[in-house]
Amino acid sequence: MKTFWKTMNIIYEKIMLGIFLIALLIVVYALYDTWYVFDHANDKSYRNYKPDRVNADSVNESPITQDMVGWITIDDTNIDYPVMQGEDNTAYLNRDPYGQYSLAGSIFLDCRNNRAFTDPYSVVYGHHLEYGVMFGALDEYLDEEYLEAHSRGKLLVGRDGKVTYDLQVFYAMEADAKDEFIFDPGNYEELYAFLEDKGQDTSHRILCLSTCAGDVSSTRIVVFAYILDVK
């Protein structure tokens, strides 16, 4: 009988050791995965190919894919990224601007929008990552004082950035991912009416920046900016 219980104890200890090792491996993998995502999202090498930093002859030599339709910068934030546009809105969810797999994905324009940003209303998406990486800074815009202090930016259109617009952030809110009047670029009349009810001017083209609101899967943070001709 003693031999039986001794054997059971040994088996129990081995099982517990196995469980501990599996749990440890899961933790290590989770830490590695978090680091990997952040490291790739924080890779700023693509900024070497920002249109205002390269000459016209080298634009086509950029390793950023031909799906690049522009470049967005919001002053005094980490938002300084190429804007991609795929055949659908999943193409760049998990692909970086070089076309390589990346959980951090890219900043990308809604596939239904004109790539020259000439539509009355354009929607741009990006993942919400820690430390303000990608569109991780958008939740700060829910604070009115932050919005007023970080309301300026630039939109360079095309791979060469020859067309440049000023951006002026004017409104931010939380929305449901199923709100078609926000996330359907062709349904902008209802959005404009909503913004007018909030006392906002809708006489300019509007750019919407959208990201997830933390772990709440159906909630989005949306930040609206006017697309203005450079004075």
Q: Give 80-136 pLDDT, tens digit per residue.
A: 999 999 999 999 999 999 999 988 899 999 999 999 999 999 999 999 987 778 999
Q: Is residue 30 situated within a structural domain?
A: no
Q: Indicate if the pLDDT at residue 17 is higher than 70.
A: no
CA distance 59 to 50: 9
The domain spanning residue 198 has which CATH number?
A: 2.40.260.10
Write the single-letter amino acid at 133: V
Structural domain including 84 reads 45-229
Q: What is d(CA 26, CA 123) in angstroms, rounded to the nearest whole number?
A: 37
pLDDT tens per residue, range 135-191: 999 999 999 999 999 999 999 999 888 899 999 999 999 999 989 899 999 989 999
Average pLDDT over residues 18-34: 52
Report, as an integer, the average pLDDT of 26-54: 60
Question: Does residue 76 lie in a domain region?
Answer: yes
Q: Which of 95, 81, 170 is nearest to 124 (CA)?
A: 81
Calpha distance 202→195 (Å, rounded): 7
* 165 part of a folded domain: yes
3-state secondary structure of 140: helix
Count of other CB atoms within 10 angstroms of residue 18: 10
Cα radius of gyration rounded to whole Å, the chain: 23
pLDDT cut 70: percent of the chain above it: 76
Residue 202 has pLDDT above 70, yes or no: yes
Q: Confirm if 163 and 157 have CB atoms less than 8 A apart.
A: yes
- Asked if pLDDT for residue 69 goes beyond 60, the answer is yes
Return the pLDDT at 32.
Answer: 40
Given a cut of 90, whether residue 216 has pLDDT beyond it is no
Residue 222 lies in a domain: yes
Residue 101 lies in a domain: yes
Q: How many domains does the chain have?
A: 1
Please indicate, yes or no, if residue 201 is contained in any of the structural domains. yes
Is residue 35 in a domain?
A: no
Nearest to 169 by CA among 222, 100, 231: 222
Q: List the beta bridge partners of residue 72.
A: 81, 155
For residue 11, being part of any structural domain is answered with: no
